[in-house]
Structure 1
Amino acid sequence: MSGVELYIEDEAAMLQLGQALAEQTAGHGILFLQGDLGAGKTTLSRGIIRGLGHTGPVKSPTFTLVEPYEINKHRVWHFDLYRLTDPEELEYLGIRDYFADDDLCLIEWPQQGKGYLPQADIEISIKAHNDGRFVQLLPFSTRGKSWCAALSALT
């Protein structure tokens, strides 16, 4: 199974994709979210987090680097590494601890943590196209492949 490519028309459709990803991941795994500023990474993260049952606000962790969510029986860690100046800073954050229990880790700007992050189950690239977005999902694990297979029905 190779990746899945989707055209997302608007914010509502991005939130729906997030809901579908929440269902597939069942609150576990590592998702890398890539794209330019304003591409929709945080919107997709919001859809995933709300899809797991969170009803409060979902903000971008641009200044805090990580925003934790306790949702029912799940823990979700939403990272935004945009402002990270050196990947080694992740060691001071205790980055390995976040991945120890197979919680769901959503990582925006993963290239900023290269060499200190584990392999993603799936990499999601978001690119603006006209008024919408092209979203590409590439699997890098067995479960990532099963998620992509299930999400390919959305095309």
Structure 2
Amino acid sequence: MLELYLPTPDHTDLLGQLLARTRPAQALVELQGDLGAGKSTTARALLRALGVQGAVRSPTYTLIERYPLADGSEAWHLDLYRIGGAGELDFLGLDEGSASLWLVEWPERGQGVLPPTDLRVELAIDGEGRSARLIALSDSGEAWVKQLAAVDDLRALSAS
């Protein structure tokens, strides 16, 4: 586990950029936190760092936004806040093999339908800034967190 303090929105963007720089080829990332905690901000910065051009919209109302990445793969950003249960995901046409990166807000609402999670990013409002806990939930996630912990830019944000 890696605990960070993100004092400004720029630091939340930095977290997203570093997640992009160090990401494995295939990953599912849970973005957890209350409304306004920085989930969409982190996802947007990550997607931008992966070469997404144009508008990067929050999928609050669409439930899913699909983005082509510079490496030819695709990222999916899901916001499951508005669904009542995992069964409602059937109509979205989610096929595990279609996306190399899944960014899922409110993942608990899709439990049992989503692929296994590699990394959970727990965000919270913390004074004027945000706190972030990065929790590995797979071998790939564990390697990702270790790689992130070694990045100089991220060490400066370490809460410990």
Rounded to whole Å, the distance in 2 between the matches of 1:152 and 1:108 is 23
Number of equivalent positions: 151
Aligned equivalent of 2:16: 18
Contact 2:118–2:136, Cα closer than 8 Å, also in 1: yes
Residue 78 (structure 1) aligns with = 77
1:148 aligns with 2:148: no
Aligned to 1:68: 66
Equivalent residues of 2:60, 2:82 under 8 A apart: yes
Give per-residue Cα distances to partners, 1:67-111, cap 9 Å, x unaligned. Answer: 01012212110000000112101122233x1x2145101000001
- 1:107 and 1:68 mapped to 2: Cα distance? 12
CA contact (8 A) 1:27 1:52 kept: no
Partner AA of 2:97 in structure 1: A
In the alignment, which of 104, 121, 125 is matched to residue 124 of structure 1? 121
Counterpart for residue 111 of structure 2: 114
Deviation >2 Å, runs of 4+ = none
- The answer for the alignment partner of 2:90 in structure 1 is 91
Output the CA distance in 1 between the equivalents of 2:116 and 2:131.
23
Match of 2:100 in 1: 103
Q: Deviations over 1:9-41 (max 9, x none)?
A: 111111111010001115531000000001000
Instruction: Give % identity.
Output: 40
For structure 2, the 5+ residue unaligned runs are: none
Given the two structures, how large is their TM-score scaled by the length of structure 1?
0.92
State how far apart, in whole Å, the 2-side matches of 1:19 and 1:74 are: 18
- Let me know the Cα RMSD of the aligned residues: 1.3
Q: Distance in 2 between matches of 1:26 and 1:47?
A: 17
Q: Judge conservation of contact 2:32–2:105 (CA < 8 Å) in 1.
A: yes
CA distance in 2, matches of 1:27, 1:17: 18
Give the whole-Å Cα distance in 2 for the aligned partners of 1:21 and 1:52: 10
- Residue deviations 1:41-78 (CA, integer Å, cap 9, x gap): 00000111011011322110011100010122121100
Mapped contact 1:27–1:75 kept (Cα < 8 A): no
In the alignment, the residues of structure 2 paired with residue 123 and residue 100 of structure 1 have an alpha-carbon distance, to the nearest angstrom, of 20
The equivalent of 1:50 in structure 2 is 48
On the 8 A contact 1:35/1:41 being kept in 2, the answer is yes
Unmatched runs of 5 consecutive residues or more in structure 1:
none
